[in-house]
Amino acid sequence: MPYDPSAFPPFAVTVDLVVLTVRRHSLCALAVRRGEPPFQGRWALPGGFVRDDEDLSQAAARELAEETGLCAHDPAAPAQDNGAHLEQLATYGDPKRDPRMRVVSVAHLALAPDLPAPRAGGDASNARWAPVEELLAQGGYGRDGEPVAPLAFDHAQILADGVERARSKIEYSSLATAFCPPEFTVGELRRVYEAVWGVALDPRNFHRKVTGTPGFLVPTGGTTTRQGGRPAQLFRAGGATLLNPPMLRPEV
C-alpha cells in the first residue's frame, strides 16, 4: 500500500489568506475579484495552489507578497520593518467546497499596518480593502448602497474565523502591534483595539494598562502630534508576545 498512488485519492491543496488591517477606524480585509468561473466577478479571499516544493507557510508568504508586497514576519524576528504577522488559521476541506474538484485549503491569517492601495497582479480594480462587516453581510448592502454579493466559495466562513481569531488573540498577546507602524502612540494602539473589537475603550485606563504590562511597549523617546492635540510618546513593540495580565475585552 505505501507507495501505490492509487491507494489514496488525490487532492489539490491551496492556501487562502485572511489579510486584516485597520483603516479609518474599521477592521478591513483584503478581497480580490475573481476573473474566472466559478464565482466569476465575485469577491474572494486571495490565495493559490501550494507548489510542489513549498511548505504551507512558504506558500502563504509567497501569496501574501504577491498580493500586497508585504514580507511575512518571521516570529523569530521582532523588528517589524515592513513585515506582517502571518500564522496558520485553519484548514477547510468540505468535499463540495469547490465545484470543480476536491480542494483542501489551508487558510492563513495575516495582520498588517495600514497600507497604500492594494495591487492584484498590478490591477487595482480587482483588489480592495473592505470592512469585514461589509464582506460578511450576506446579500446586504455596502457603504455606498450598492448590493454586495457574498464572498465566493466558503470564504465568508474563513473570513469570519480569521476575524474571530484576531479578536481573541489581541486579548492575550501583543498581536495588536502588528496593525501599527513600527513606531506608534498609545492612542493609535487603542484605536486598533477599538476597531478590532468594535467597542470604545477608556483612554485613561487603556493607557495605564498597556504601559503597565511588562514587555508590551518600549518608549522610543520621541513624540508625535500627528493625531492632533497634545504630543504623544512614541513606542515600539516590546519583546513580550504573551501579555500578562491580558487585555480584557469589555462584556457584550
Partner DNA sequence: ATCATAGTCGTCTGCCTGACGATAAACACT
Partner DNA sequence: AGTGTTTATCGTCAGGCAGACGACTATGAT
Residues that bind a copy of itself (CB under 8 A): 1-3, 5, 7-13, 36-38, 49-56, 88, 90-95, 100-102, 104, 106
Shortest separation between residue 218's beta carbon and DNA, angstroms: 14
Determine, following the binding rule CB under 7 A, whether residue 198 of this chain makes contact with DNA.
no
User: Among candidates 139, 132, 115, which has minimal Cα distance to 45?
Assistant: 132
DSSP 49-115: EPPTT--HHHHHHHHHHHHH-PEEE-TT----SSEEEEEEEEEE--TTSSSSS-EEEEEEEEE----
Q: Are 16 and 45 in contact (CB under 8 A)?
A: yes
- From 132, 162, 209, 237, residue interacting with DNA (rule: CB under 7 A): 209
Determine, following the binding rule CB under 7 A, whether residue 227 of this chain makes contact with DNA.
yes
Q: Are 179 and 21 in contact (CB under 8 A)?
A: yes
71-73 and 83-92 strand pairing: parallel
User: Among candidates 174, 165, 180, 166, which has minimal Cα distance to 82?
Assistant: 180
CA distance 126 to 121: 9
Determine, following the binding rule CB under 7 A, whether residue 38 of this chain makes contact with DNA.
no
Choose the contact partner of 37 out of a copy of itself, DNA, none; CB within 5 to 8 A by kind: a copy of itself
2 preceded by cis ω (within 30°)? no
Identify which range of 70-78, 83-91, 148-156, 209-217 contacts DNA by CB under 7 A: 209-217
Shortest separation between residue 11's beta carbon and a copy of itself, angstroms: 5
Determine, following the binding rule CB under 7 A, whether residue 165 of this chain makes contact with DNA.
no
H-helix or E-strand containing 146?
A: none
Choose the contact partner of 232 out of DNA, a copy of itself, none; CB within 5 to 8 A by kind: DNA
Shortest separation between residue 174's beta carbon and a copy of itself, angstroms: 16
| φ and ψ of 62, to 5 deg | -65, -45
**Residue nearer to DNA on the CB measure, 138 or 220:** 220
- From 211, 218, 222, 239, residue interacting with DNA (rule: CB under 7 A): 211
Shortest separation between residue 103's beta carbon and a copy of itself, angstroms: 9
Shortest separation between residue 102's beta carbon and a copy of itself, angstroms: 7
Q: Are 139 and 46 in contact (CB under 8 A)?
A: no
- From 108, 155, 165, 207, residue interacting with DNA (rule: CB under 7 A): 207
CA distance 19 to 110: 5
Shortest separation between residue 244's beta carbon and DNA, angstroms: 9
Give the residues lining the site for DNA (CB under 7 A). Answer: 185-188, 190, 202-205, 207-209, 211-212, 223, 225, 227-233, 245, 248, 250
